[in-house]
Amino acid sequence: MFKEQKLSLELKEEKEMSSANLFHEKLCKAFILMSIVGGVFAYIGYVLAPESCASGDDTIFETIGVALFAISFYCFPISPIFWLVSLVRLNMDSGDIFFWSLLTGIIIVISTVIFIDYVIQDMFCGCWGFPGEDC
């Protein structure tokens, strides 16, 4: 009887652990997908309108791509904070959360290196670096 209770308790803890880790894993996958898709969309927007400087000249691809990329880039610190919380919570697997946080960070850095020119292309155009200014 004691073994059955222990087994039941272990299965319950494993289920709770997997739900917390599953949420973090899905969050990291969403950030990875957003950074890659956002970068590709920003590239497509750049190819369609390479000389556009005013925000009214941006294509829908550029608008959505830059937004997706920025969301993934600026919301990424949630992942390491999640890992720090998992260090003190016993029902969370810190190793798994650390792996997904590290993988997400590496992929976001690689995506930034590849797509940064297309994401910030409107930032430094125009008159003295102000977008949309006509001199």
Q: Would you kindly state where each structural domain of the chain is located, as residue ranges?
A: 22-119
Q: CA-CA distance, 49 to 103, in Å (whole number)?
A: 33
Chain position carrying tokens 């029902």: 91
Q: Is the pLDDT of residue 112 over 70?
A: yes
Q: What is the pLDDT of residue 67?
A: 92
What confidence score (pLDDT) does residue 40 get? 95
Q: Identify the CA nearest to 109 among candidates 62, 61, 72, 65.
A: 72
Instruction: Give the whole-number percent of the chain exceeding pLDDT 90.
Output: 45
Residues in a beta bridge with 130: 127
Residue 124 pLDDT > 80: no
Most confident by average pLDDT, 10-14, 45-49, 126-130: 45-49
Question: Whole-model pTM?
Answer: 0.77
The Cα 29–Cα 69 span in angstroms is: 14
Q: Is the pLDDT of residue 79 over 70?
A: yes
Question: Would you say residue 128 has pLDDT above 70?
Answer: no
Higher pLDDT, 20 or 65: 65
At 32, the pLDDT band (50, 70, 90 cuts) reads: very high
So what's the pLDDT on residue 20? 79
According to DSSP, residue 125 is labeled -
Helix (H, G, I), strand (E, B) or coil at 46: helix
